[in-house]
Amino acid sequence: MSTPDAGLLVALVGNPNTGKSTLFNALTGLRQRVGNYPGVTVARKSGTCDLGDGQKVELVDLPGLYSLAAASPDEQVVIDALSGNIAGDRRPDAVVLVVDSTNLLRNLFLASQVAELGRPVVIVLNQADVAKEQGLRIDTELLSRRLGGVPVVLSSAWKGEGILDVRRAIARAIAQQTQMKRVTWPTNIAAALADVATVAAADTGKPISEAEAQRLLFDTNPSTADRLGWTLAQREKTLRTARDRVRNSGYNPMAAEPLVHYAHLRLILEGVVTEGAGKAGRSAAVDRLLLHRFLGPVLFLGIMLGFFGSVFWLAKFPMEWIQAGVDWTKTIVAPPLDAYPMLQSLLADGIIGGVGAFLVFLPQILILFLFIGILEDSGYMARAAFIMDRLFSWCGLNGKSFVPLLSGFACAIPSLLSTRTIEDPKARLATAFVVPFMSCSARFPVYALMCAAFIGPTYGAGWQSVVMIGMHCVGLLFAVPTAFVLTRLVLKVKPQPFVLELPRYQMPKPRDVIWRMWQNAAEFVSKAGTVIFAITIIVWALSYFPRDASVAERIKAANPSATEEVVKSKLQAAYVEQSYMGRFGKAVQPIFDPLGFDWKITVGVLASFPAREVIVSTLGVTYSVGEGAEADSQHLRQAMQDAKWSEGPRAGTPIFSLAAVLALMVFFALCSQCGPTIATLAQETGGWKWAAGSFVYMTALAWLAGTAVYQVVIRLT
Amino acid sequence: MTPLSQLLPGQFGKLASLNPERGVDQRLMALGLLPGMVLKLIRKAPLGDPLAIEFGGQVVSLRLAEAENLIVDVAADCPIQRPRQP
């Protein structure tokens, strides 16, 4: 990767749905780096951009936004980035404002706000092809002149047209320091702004820019004041006086900014756009179908089930290949190490198993993001949110929570990553928090084993299906009240109004979709992947050590006539029993006694905290039927059906009673048994606080619900 | 004077007043929905909420509860009912 020559930084700013990311990809040619802004879960995407004359600059793609009023973390990041207030980031040397050519007025509002920051500016009228189709002619020279001589260029990033012009315009903006014409504030507002700047500068001891003074005066959100360290006590009187002054001049202080900017822009745009003959967009017609009262929801369900089904179904094959590849690698590396069993187990079960543990999520992540990319870039995602919002708004979520929650039934990992599509930080956090309650595919083998071994044989296939379906609903039953309580009582974040643009439908650009899919996967592997790997190694060590040679001798002596295979599985069981994990399991079994779990189940439960599906193979080991046990293994079923309590008040009764089986399934439906989920939750919520909260909450809930089920059912049967 | 939420799908209205203290209204103002602007209620979502409105060449969705401060004037100098787009 080449680094920028002169260390110049250029920022890309614009409204959502302007093709900004497509332009970014076209300008940087995929020479990109993705990171995070410090302290917030906002991605920082940057790349190297050639200015057409060999000069290279670093181009940073800032989040899409409509206004600089700092109401969301995304917006705050843009303001901070443009003002040079981000640690480790320079103030941009130029700002490229990406504008939708079909809606200049609204798009230039943000441009006009950005002009107040005093950086050299380039205006890119993107999607010029669509404007042309609609019969709009834009006089770019007139617009450039009216805006004070800033470069104004037409482009169509989707078609790759006008990209060179954009490069040259950036070079010109940097060379000539082209400043965009700024709005003229009415006298009283200008005076109020000056007052705020003077007092704030005196109170904080920092220089206050004009743009900062505007944020202080016009925003209800105190984030700018907080960042400057201007306390409520200091600012209260000054701001009230200044706002009164604005009010006395006939403007509502909270409306003055858009009113003045829009009035200014209307004059600038006078005669710039001429409407000729053209085709009206087809979006309205498509919406009449896709948002139809009856057909809309039907088509929505069809699209979503098709989309969700494919994530589940398509990912199955590559996941099996990865699993097969991992197993194959084990068979290759293990035999030469037969003489060193510890090293062999570390390599095969610890390291290769650990890599496999996060690689196996990649197919689902890639496919889910492929679909999300298509849904978002086509414009349908906003419609889906529009259709579903009513179902989610009452419990504090919004229409955009639907996709993450639905895909949570396949796997929580890609689903947590997909909560990034929710702009409202409160709804995003609440959605991420309840996603792990969705009954993911890893819970399926647990239900399948229990139902096949205990429900089916005793109560018939009908009840078996009822229990299977019921288990998939248990999580949902708890998720909804959790979201409700979380958004109403716990989260102090101010909710964002659900104002959502329904953009023009558009054909997604394959390069953009694939590139974003790849970036999400790479971020998952580099961040959550390392944590998942570490957890796997730790759990491997806990169930491997200590390993005493005397155990092997004892087992061999006790079973002199048994076949080698039987001895091997008995030995494995004995090793697990006396490992740290086994000892710990025995020690804490009393905690799980109210759920009807014996120490073997307890060890299984503990061993499956990193990955819940491990329970099946762990039960295989503790019930001495060998490591390779699967949900449909006849031996394992038999061994479990035969298992009886050997001591205590329940001695002689079967361990897997109906009560214990149901309690175990409910416990698995609710418990936070997935290391990758916890790691990803921490990554997506910007710290371990919510991840730890989720772990404690879900595990406690699982214990309580499991206990309730066991205690009620055992008394009824 | 009618709250926006009581407009019928397909009806036009001229924005008479909004409440600039509220976050929703601030968002809408940033999108260019200022007093005097003509808007059209395109449709309600299949479950009755939210609404989709059109103004200044864009379509925006907002919730019924969030639309309560938007008072529109259905009468008088609303635009000539434009022919429905094909």
Structure confidence at residue A322 (pLDDT): 86
Structure confidence at residue A161 (pLDDT): 95
A198 and A85 co-located in one domain? no
A108 and A206 co-located in one domain? no
Structure confidence at residue A50 (pLDDT): 93
**How much is the mean pLDDT over chain A?**
87
Q: For residue A242, what are the CA distances in angstroms to A190, A245, A582, A601, B22?
A: 10, 5, 69, 68, 19
- Per-residue pLDDT averaged across A272-289, rounded? 88
Angle between the N-to-C axes of helices A295-333 and A362-378, in degrees from 0 to 180, rounded to the nearest 10: 150
d(CA A594, CA A605): 14
B60 and A CB contact within 8 Å: yes
A171 and A208 co-located in one domain? no
Chain A positions in Cβ-Cβ contact with residue B66 (cut-off 8 Å): 497-499
Could you tell me the pLDDT band of residue A639, with boundaries at 50, 70 and 90?
confident
At A453-478, the pLDDT tens digits run 888 888 888 888 888 888 888 988 89
Structure confidence at residue B32 (pLDDT): 94
d(CA A380, CA A346): 48
Confirm whether A277 is domain-assigned: no
B17 and A CB contact within 8 Å: no
CB contact under 8 A, B66 and A386: no
At A294-320, the pLDDT tens digits run 999 999 989 888 876 777 678 788 888
At A539-587, the pLDDT tens digits run 788 878 887 777 777 777 777 777 777 777 777 778 878 888 888 888 9
B9 and A CB contact within 8 Å: no
A252, A390, A393, A397, best to mutate vs chain B, most B CBs in 10 Å: A390
Whether the pLDDT of residue A53 is over 90: the answer is no
* Alpha helix stretches (DSSP H) within A249-292: 256-269, 283-290
Secondary structure class of B15 (helix, strand, coil) = strand
Secondary structure class of A146 (helix, strand, coil) = helix
Domain ranges, ordered by start, for chain B: 2-73
B68 and A CB contact within 8 Å: no
Query: In sequence order, what are the residues at sequence separation of 6 or more whose Cβ sits closer than 8 angstroms to the Cβ of residue B53?
Result: B4, B39, B40, B41, B42, B59, B60, B61, B62
Structure confidence at residue A1 (pLDDT): 40
Question: Encoding tokens for residue A123?
Answer: 């205006």
A99 and A145 co-located in one domain? yes
Regarding predicted confidence, which is higher, A5 or A396? Answer: A396
Angle between the N-to-C axes of helices A104-115 and A256-269, in degrees from 0 to 180, rounded to the nearest 10: 120
A25 and A166 co-located in one domain? yes
Confirm whether A630 is domain-assigned: yes
Whether the pLDDT of residue A496 is over 80: the answer is no
Tell me the sheet residues that pair with A60: A11, A46
Domain final position from A202, A218, A250: A250
A159 and A70 co-located in one domain? yes
Whether the pLDDT of residue A626 is over 70: the answer is no
Which domain range does residue A213 map to?
Answer: 194-250
Q: What percent of chain A has pLDDT over 90?
A: 44
d(CA A626, CA A98): 62
Regarding predicted confidence, which is higher, A547 or A168? Answer: A168
d(CA A96, CA B54): 28
In total, chain B counts a number of residues equal to 86
Taking Cα atoms as reference points, which of B70, B75, B13 lies closest to residue B42?
B13
Query: In sequence order, what are the residues at sequence separation of 6 or more whose Cβ sits closer than 8 angstroms to the Cβ of residue A652?
Result: A644, A645
Structure confidence at residue A320 (pLDDT): 86
Say if residues A387 and A300 touch (Cβ distance below 8 Å): yes
Could you tell me the pLDDT band of residue A632, with boundaries at 50, 70 and 90?
low
Structure confidence at residue A122 (pLDDT): 97
Could you tell me the pLDDT band of residue A80, with boundaries at 50, 70 and 90?
confident
A15 and A158 co-located in one domain? yes
Question: Encoding tokens for residue A263?
Answer: 């009035």
Angle between the N-to-C axes of helices A614-622 and A634-642, in degrees from 0 to 180, rounded to the nearest 10: 60
CB contact under 8 A, B45 and A386: yes
Selecting from B30, B58, B86 the residue whose C-beta is nearest the C-beta of A109 gives B30
Domain final position from A144, A176, A208: A176
Q: Which helix (H) or strand (E) holds A517?
A: helix A510-544
Say if residues A62 and A11 touch (Cβ distance below 8 Å): yes
Taking Cα atoms as reference points, which of B52, B74, B55 lies closest to residue B3?
B74
B86 and A CB contact within 8 Å: yes
Half-sphere exposure of A20 (CA within 13 A, CB side): 25
Say if residues A46 and A59 touch (Cβ distance below 8 Å): yes
Most confident of A105-114, A371-380, A461-470: A105-114
Most confident of A373-382, A554-563, A621-630: A373-382
A87 and A167 co-located in one domain? yes
A165 and A246 co-located in one domain? no
Whether the pLDDT of residue B61 is over 90: the answer is yes
A125 and A206 co-located in one domain? no
* Alpha helix stretches (DSSP H) within chain B: 23-30
Q: Tokens 């700018």 belong to which residue?
A: A224
At A133-148, the pLDDT tens digits run 999 999 999 999 999 9
- Per-residue pLDDT averaged across A12-30, rounded? 92
Structure confidence at residue A2 (pLDDT): 41
What is the CATH T-level fold of the domain B2-73, as seen in this structure?
Answer: SH3 type barrels. (2.30.30)
| Total of domains in chain A | 3
d(CA A323, CA A335): 19
Residue B77: CB atoms within 10 A of its CB come to 7
Structure confidence at residue A73 (pLDDT): 74
Selecting from B28, B43, B48 the residue whose C-beta is nearest the C-beta of A499 gives B28
B28 and A CB contact within 8 Å: yes
Selecting from A106, A252, A496 the residue whose C-beta is nearest the C-beta of B20 gives A252
CB contact under 8 A, A386 and B27: no
At A653-697, the pLDDT tens digits run 888 889 999 999 999 999 998 888 898 899 888 788 999 999 999
d(CA A92, CA A259): 28
Taking Cα atoms as reference points, which of A406, A414, A536, A420 lies closest to residue A479?
A406
Chain B positions in Cβ-Cβ contact with residue A390 (cut-off 8 Å): 45, 47-50
Say if residues A100 and A15 touch (Cβ distance below 8 Å): yes
CATH code of the domain containing A78:
3.40.50.300
CB contact under 8 A, A391 and B47: yes
A94 and A233 co-located in one domain? no
Say if residues A382 and A501 touch (Cβ distance below 8 Å): yes
Whether the pLDDT of residue A31 is over 80: the answer is no
Whether the pLDDT of residue A29 is over 70: the answer is yes
CB contact under 8 A, A254 and B61: no
Structure confidence at residue A34 (pLDDT): 78
Selecting from A69, A106, A386 the residue whose C-beta is nearest the C-beta of B52 gives A386
Q: Tokens 């409509």 belong to which residue?
A: A66
Q: What percent of chain A has pLDDT over 70?
A: 96
B52 and A CB contact within 8 Å: yes
A205 and A238 co-located in one domain? yes
Confirm whether A171 is domain-assigned: yes
Query: In sequence order, what are the residues at sequence separation of 6 or more whose Cβ sits closer than 8 angstroms to the Cβ of residue A239?
Result: A196, A216, A217
Please give, rounded to a whole number of angstroms, the shortest distance from the CA of A45 to a CA of chain B.
25
d(CA A619, CA A636): 8
Domain final position from A224, A250, A276: A250
Regarding predicted confidence, which is higher, A222 or A433? Answer: A433
d(CA A176, CA A277): 38
d(CA A417, CA A412): 9
> Residue A496: left (phi > 0), alpha (psi -120 to 50), or beta?
beta
CA angle A145, A150, A153 (to 5 degrees): 95
Question: Encoding tokens for residue A246?
Answer: 């604005």
Tell me the sheet residues that pair with A507: none
Residue A338: CB atoms within 10 A of its CB come to 8
CA angle A217, A259, B2 (to 5 degrees): 115
Whether the pLDDT of residue A413 is over 80: the answer is yes
3-state SS track over A185-231: CCHHHHHHHHHHHHHHHHHHCCCCCHHHHHHHHHCCCCHHHHHHCCC
DSSP string computed for A617-628 = HHHHHHTTS-TT
Q: Phi/psi of residue A157, each to 5°?
A: -60, -35
